[in-house]
Amino acid sequence: MARVHVGAAHGPPDPPMSKAAMKYLLVRPKVPAPLDPNFCPLVLAKKQYLKLVGGSPFAVEWALPRADGCARGKLPVLADKHVDVDASIHLAGVLVQEMIWQRSASELLLFGPPKICEALQKAYSPEGKYAFEVKTMPKVCGTPSRPFPVRIVSSAAELPEAKDTKQVCGKDASGCRLAFDLGKSDIK
């Protein structure tokens, strides 16, 4: 029987998670979710990953500049030649995606081990795993005709400093409100 994608009609389903990523990232909670017994929370995946990889001398860093600031992230990663490097690539991609939707971005800048940065650059291309984010963020940022560039820099010093700006939300709680689900409560 063919696998049917029941999500949004923005593209094909994500490729399956690699065995390395499964080994490091799939952690079921002590109390299973009744509607999805295979649910694996991202927070538990990150906690387990950091326990296994936390002492690594390698890290991938990213910056997500936007008109009013810049979001920054950093993740310890396995060496490019490590047999399980796919776990680092997978989690870094998910964390960048989560941060893009939390803070917005007009581009993605990467620094770290070359294989990991190149894999993330490919994943954040118009044909990559995160093509939806690459195609949508320019519209979200009010620059629909501008592409979403993804660049690898040669030094962490080339990444812009983190700068968050206060965002005032509406204060009228009567009537209709819009809720936005950032997603990524689970890891797939």
pLDDT per residue over 136-177, tens digit each?
999 988 899 999 999 999 999 999 999 998 877 777 767 666
What's the confidence (pLDDT) of residue 116? 98
- Residue 47's pLDDT is 96
Task: Give the DSSP H or E segment for 43.
Answer: helix 42-53
Please tell me the distance from the alpha carbon of residue 184 to that of residue 177, in angstroms, as a whole number.
22
Evaluate if pTM is beyond 0.85.
yes
Mean pLDDT across 29-45: 92
CA dihedral over 20, 25, 57, 163, signed as positive or negative = positive
Residue 100, pLDDT score: 95
- pLDDT tens digits, residue range 45-84? 999 999 999 899 999 999 999 999 999 999 999 999 999 9
Q: Average model confidence (pLDDT) for the chain?
A: 89
pLDDT the model gives residue 174: 73
The identity of residue 170, as a single letter, is: G
pLDDT category of residue 180 using cuts at 50, 70 and 90 = low
Percentage of the chain surpassing pLDDT 70? 86
Residue 37 has pLDDT above 70, yes or no: yes
Residue 14: per-residue pLDDT = 76
Q: How confident is the model at residue 5 (pLDDT cuts 50, 70, 90)?
A: very low
DSSP conformation letters of 113-162: -HHHHHHHHHHTSTTSTTHHHHHHHHHHTT-TTS---EEE-S-GGGSPPP
